[in-house]
């Protein structure tokens, strides 16, 4: 194992990744890497300053301690929402992507199997998986919820650098199996409180919400129910429309009875076709004379 080195830790995770099928998951992974790369490029952090670990539905980046954290936070707060809007605008509902993000700092060592080890990294992962952050994302309109560790807030955010407004972050306490962690959530805390029940951590779907879709977006409405005979009695059509056939050829009828699908139209009928029909005419049904 290498010696622990100081790194900025960036974690990004796709909401409800497991709800999607294999094709959608593959697409979302590509989009996640694309959004991450664009955000880091906007922050001036090239590939020589970072190391990536693939975690399926999430990406973990260890960023060189010399890379400016202010530029990283500014890019996350501006570039990531823009990229997500662009991706989701062109994607179907089931392929839309929403992200939770964490920025933390600390010491991380890399072992011989290319595994990452460090309590600071463990704490960052617990912030990413916290019910509070999941609940916050469900209430966001911009498809992104960001949380920073207390060390990042105290060292960078609270100094109110341009593009990283300190007033936009709110102190929260996250319960973990190793005790409470102090963190800072960008934007308001979820309405359920600072520590939603553990049962809400995976975002149980509400009524009308599409599987795999964004938490605040309702599923498409189903087809309208067909009208019944009872509906027709309670809400009759206007007098001029009762018994009228569906749009189609118009017949000029003098005498006789015309049947449309079993219904009858009596009296003189005046049309525009110029044709003349005498006697009984039946369309889709039988006249009284044919019935036996």
Q: What is the CATH number of the domain that holds 122?
A: 3.30.70.1230
pLDDT digits (tens, 9 = 90+) for 19-32: 889 999 999 999 99
Same domain for 177 and 256? Answer: no
The interaxial angle of helices 69-89 and 22-42, nearest 10 deg, is 140
Within a domain: 210:
no
Are 179 and 85 in the same domain? yes
The reported pLDDT for the residue numbered 268 is: 52
- Regarding whether 252 and 172 lie in a shared domain, the answer is no
Q: What is the pLDDT of residue 215?
A: 39
Mean confidence (pLDDT) of the chain: 76
Range of the domain at 248: 244-292
Q: How many domains does the chain fold into?
A: 2
What is the pLDDT confidence band of residue 88, given thresholds at 50, 70 and 90? very high
The tens digit of pLDDT for each residue in 153-186 reads: 999 999 999 999 999 999 999 988 878 999 999 9
In residues, how long is the chain? 292
pLDDT at 289: 47
Name the 3-class secondary structure at 157. Answer: helix
273 shares its domain with 171: no
Report, in angstroms and rounded to the nearest whole number, the Rg of the chain calculated over CA atoms: 32
Q: Are residues 43 and 182 in the same domain?
A: yes
pLDDT tops 80 at residue 275: no
Q: Is residue 74 part of a domain?
A: yes
271: left (phi over 0), alpha (psi -120 to 50) or beta: beta
Q: Please indicate, yes or no, if residue 281 is contained in any of the structural domains.
A: yes
| 159 inside domain | yes
Q: Which whole number is the average pLDDT over 119-144?
A: 93
Q: How many CB atoms lie under 10 A from the CB of residue 177? A: 5
Nearest to 291 by CA among 264, 271, 267: 264
For residue 90, what pLDDT band results from cuts at 50, 70 and 90? confident
> Rounded CA gap, 193 and 186, in Å?
15
> Is 25 a member of any domain?
yes
Please state the pTM of the whole predicted model.
0.66
pLDDT at 198: 42
CA atoms of 166 and 154, how far apart (whole Å) = 10
pLDDT at 191 over 90: no
């Amino acid at each position: 194992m290498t010696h622990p080195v100081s790194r900025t830790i960036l974690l990004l995770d796709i909401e409800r990744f497991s709800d999607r099928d294999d094709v959608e998951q593959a697409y979302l992974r590509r989009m996640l890497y694309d959004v991450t790369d664009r955000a880091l490029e906007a922050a001036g952090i090239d590939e020589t300053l970072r190391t990536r670990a693939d975690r399926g539905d999430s990406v973990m980046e260890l960023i060189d301690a010399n890379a400016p954290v202010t530029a990283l936070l500014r890019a996350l707060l501006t570039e990531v929402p823009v990229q997500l809007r662009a991706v989701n605008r062109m994607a179907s509902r089931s392929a839309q992507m929403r992200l939770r993000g964490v920025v933390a700092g600390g010491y991380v060592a890399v072992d011989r199997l290319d595994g990452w080890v460090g309590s600071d990294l463990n704490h960052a992962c617990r912030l990413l998986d916290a019910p509070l952050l999941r609940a916050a994302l469900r209430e966001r309109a911009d498809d992104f919820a960001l949380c920073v560790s207390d060390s990042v807030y105290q060292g960078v955010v609270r100094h109110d650098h341009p593009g990283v407004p300190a007033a936009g972050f709110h102190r929260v306490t996250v319960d973990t199996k190793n005790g409470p962690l102090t963190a800072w959530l960008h934007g308001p805390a979820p309405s359920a409180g600072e520590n939603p029940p553990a049962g809400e951590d995976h975002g149980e779907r509400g009524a009308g919400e599409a599987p795999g879709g964004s938490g605040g977006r309702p599923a498409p409405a189903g087809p309208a129910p067909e009208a019944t005979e009872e509906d027709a009695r309670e809400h009759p059509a206007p007098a001029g429309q009762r018994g009228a056939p569906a749009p189609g050829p118009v017949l000029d009828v003098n005498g006789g009875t015309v049947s449309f699908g079993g219904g009858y139209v009596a009296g003189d009928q005046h049309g525009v076709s110029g044709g003349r029909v005498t006697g009984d005419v039946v369309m889709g049904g039988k006249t009284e004379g044919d019935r036996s």
